[in-house]
Structure 1
Amino acid sequence: MTGEEVPPEARQLHERSLVVDAHNDLLMVCSRQPPARQGAFFRQTWLPQLRAGGVDVQVLPVFLEPEFRPEGALRQTLKMIETAWRIAEACPDEVRICLTGADLERARADGVLALIIALEGCEAVGLDVGLFETLYRLGVRMASFTHFGRTMLADGSAENDTGGRLTSAGVDAVAECERLGIVLDVSHLGAASTDHLLELARRPVVASHSSSFAVRAHHRNLTDEVMRAIAATGGVVGINVLAQFVDGHRHTVDRVADHLDHAASVVGADHVGLGPDFIKEVSDGLLRVDELAWGDRKPREYVPGLEGPAGLPRLTAELLRRGWAERDIRQVLGLSFHDVLVRELGKPG
């Protein structure tokens, strides 16, 4: 399935389902608008797409471009977190930042889009693990320690050849995040750092936006063993839809569904979700993204029909076409992530 119309049965199922997107870099775009315009920009540009895709819970990663690392990391992190709060204040009828599982449930009952602030890379923390408490006070509720490269806490997946595990500060950061109720995210961590974090974890761990290595052998994807280890913590694997992580050549909705099929066969639908990583609008002119940060210089490609949130019903249609049970589709669309977040978000350890 590519860009054709979604059949009515699939559309209706999608509309009845709770949808959680565990990774969308829209804050990168919104934060580059003048502060007074950020809320209105989100309402005009992103809210219609999220509503068209049926998104009920949106994780907002704070990603830092290379120009801000390391000297400007804390400043830019604070600016992006403030952007999230400006969006919520400008659109109180539509969205709400959620700090606890109870907040998530209230947002669902009130019919507003729940927003969760996350860190994608922890350059802002450096070696000062105590800053997680400050960031928690500002609303951060999910954290991955790095993005492709190396931080003071861990090595990213592009550094796999180094075999680097968590640093001593990274070990402390695991304990501190678990104490506070910040959900740990292994997407982008290197293989050894991922294994190390999973050895230490005492609370559910997620991979917010990582696909299956067995389907596409890319360092950003997860092996079956790692998926099982995440599931064993009670966590969830969010499947990424970026073309380079889906397949070397076949960039199609059905190929994304192959990743969902495989992950569900390994850990069950209750431990699989969606972490699409929609960045087309970010890359296509609203701001520059350094190609080197992606590990190659190839032009960015996208899965036709899944360039943004509005395409999510196409995944529902493809899973229905493959004979997935409605119950399992609803788990993958959002209930798996929602259940973990309701239990863990902001809950002191």
Structure 2
Amino acid sequence: MSDTAADLVAQVLAATPVFDGHNDLPVALRFRSGSSVEGLADGRPDLHTDLPRLRTGGVGAQFWSVYVSSKLPEPEAAVSTLEQIDAVYRLVARYPDALRIAYTAADVERSFADGRIASLLGVEGGHSLAESPGVLRSFARLGVRYVTLTHNDNTSWADSATDEPGVGGLNDTGRAIVAELNRTGVLVDLSHVAESTQRAALAATASPVLFSHSSARALNDHPRNVSDGVLELLPDNGGVVQLTFVPYFVSAEVAEWAEELEAERERLGLPARTWTWPRAPRPGEDPAQVASEHTALLTAPVDDRLRRWTEAHPRPEVTVAQVADHVEHAREVAGRDHIGLGGDYDGVDHQPTRLADVSGYPVLLRELADRGWSRADLEALTGRNVLRVLREAEERATEPLWPTAPLR
């Protein structure tokens, strides 16, 4: 890393902080803390995310994922999503000097100017809508600014990248949901969905789309990544792919290692890994007590035979350079104006070397600067592109529903 690159990155982050597309802190807090938001000002080493490391990482705006499991019945998923939205609002209220709820591009820019981290909401999976336009509109009124059309399982109206084809992309209900998202100014997020769904949504949408956390399929043929054919469609749509750091998506070697690990579990006759969606605390209940029901899963001992296998077959590490390769590939195919960053912190158990937590964004930016990226290139990546997409969705909305009350 050159001193010149470090200086350039410092200038970039001062002018255009990172506007990250996807962080799973709300669900990590649900699992580990019973949705308590305490301790984040002093540092939470058990998490990828806390306030000091967000500052070190130059993060100025964050889409907080309000993910809930796609295995839940849809009405239950809608309730759990409201609980996750509540967690983000409580997070911001607990740390008002550091965080601010943002609904619009202008709100994000005001937060930048005030030195606070703009906090936006992203629903991860159309199952959370329960096929209800009223639920969709209610989420929009609460400030949800994107909906990922599926998570890992199909909905009745859209196909997931990691499920068997169901409706061939989008059916009429799916197209109507895309139209309602456009009408209300909520971004269509195409991470997690099948390529058939991506293409159908791009054909149906009247506003730019987002891929909140995906990588380039040309570099790793993983179903969660985006093909060059779809990347080539982004300039006409105006959308942005926010490149993720998830090792399984970045590296074919890591993806193969994960498959071999699961095969070894099966060979040893070990039970499939399971987890239960954690409940929220009931009125008057101690969050720590609720969390204790689930933290045992995180500390359960590993079978000795499987431990010996992992010692003999260590997980491959992903490098910053490999992540940068995906970013550069997306720029080459889609263009500089159609790329961003979506780290997926606290959504996976392990991140690349030197990108282990949210403090790592400057490391990636310095890698790109050393490869010759200009200040304009880096500012497009860190935030300007996503701000444009957000603003265009607002301008094209015929019935915007986000709150209009003055921000604190």
Question: How high is the TM-score relative to the length of structure 2?
Answer: 0.75
Q: CA deviation at 1:347?
A: 6.3
Q: CA deviation at 1:71?
A: 5.4
Contact 2:20 2:63 in 1 (8 A): yes
Q: CA deviation at 1:321?
A: 1.4
| Aligned positions of 1:17-166 closer than 5 A | 17-32=16-31, 33-34=33-34, 37-38=36-37, 40-44=38-42, 45=44, 46-65=50-69, 68-70=72-74, 72-159=76-163, 161=165, 164-166=168-170
| Aligned positions of 1:169-248 closer than 5 A | 169-248=173-252
Distance across 1 between alignment mates of 2:69 and 2:341: 24
Distance across 2 between alignment mates of 1:261 and 1:136: 33
Contact 2:243 2:326 in 1 (8 A): yes
Contact 1:31 1:79 in 2 (8 A): no
Distance across 2 between alignment mates of 1:322 and 1:163: 43
Q: CA deviation at 1:41?
A: 3.5
1:285-332 Cα deviation digits (max 9, x unpaired): xxxxxxxxxxxxxxxx53111121111111111101111122101211
Distance across 1 between alignment mates of 2:379 and 2:348: 30
Match of 2:13 in 1: 15
Match of 1:255 in 2: 322
Contact 2:64 2:119 in 1 (8 A): yes
Q: CA deviation at 1:100?
A: 1.8
Q: CA deviation at 1:5?
A: 11
Distance across 1 between alignment mates of 2:247 and 2:25: 18
Return the letter of the residue paired with 2:341. L
Contact 1:73 1:124 in 2 (8 A): yes
Return the letter of the residue paired with 1:323. G
Contact 1:68 1:76 in 2 (8 A): no
Q: CA deviation at 1:160?
A: 5.5
* 1:128–1:346 Cα change, 3 Å: farther
Match of 2:353 in 1: 304
Q: CA deviation at 1:235?
A: 1.0
Match of 2:257 in 1: none
Return the letter of the residue paired with 1:262. H
| SS in structure 1 of the partner of residue 232 of structure 2 | helix
Return the letter of the residue paired with 1:228. E
Return the letter of the residue paired with 1:164. G
Distance across 2 between alignment mates of 1:215 and 1:283: 20
Distance across 2 between alignment mates of 1:34 and 1:346: 38
How many residues of Structure 1 are paired with residues of Structure 2 in the alignment?
Answer: 327
1:128-176 Cα deviation digits (max 9, x unpaired): 2231111111221111111121113311101265572113221111011
Q: CA deviation at 1:75?
A: 1.6
Q: CA deviation at 1:11?
A: 4.9
| SS in structure 2 of the partner of residue 197 of structure 1 | helix
Match of 1:340 in 2: 389
Contact 1:129 1:172 in 2 (8 A): no
Contact 1:153 1:173 in 2 (8 A): no
Contact 2:207 2:396 in 1 (8 A): no
Distance across 2 between alignment mates of 1:113 and 1:75: 27
* 1:67–1:147 Cα change, 3 Å: closer
Contact 1:18 1:335 in 2 (8 A): no
| SS in structure 1 of the partner of residue 128 of structure 2 | coil
Return the letter of the residue paired with 2:326. H
* 1:303–1:5 Cα change, 3 Å: farther
* 1:155–1:6 Cα change, 3 Å: farther
1:186-238 Cα deviation digits (max 9, x unpaired): 00011111111111011111111111111111111111121122232111110
Match of 1:323 in 2: 372
Structure with the greater alpha carbon radius of gyration: 2
Match of 2:402 in 1: none
* 1:73–1:7 Cα change, 3 Å: same
Return the letter of the residue paired with 1:82. D
Return the letter of the residue paired with 2:78. L
* Greater Cα shift, 155-164 or 195-204: 155-164
Return the letter of the residue paired with 1:18. P
Contact 1:10 1:316 in 2 (8 A): no
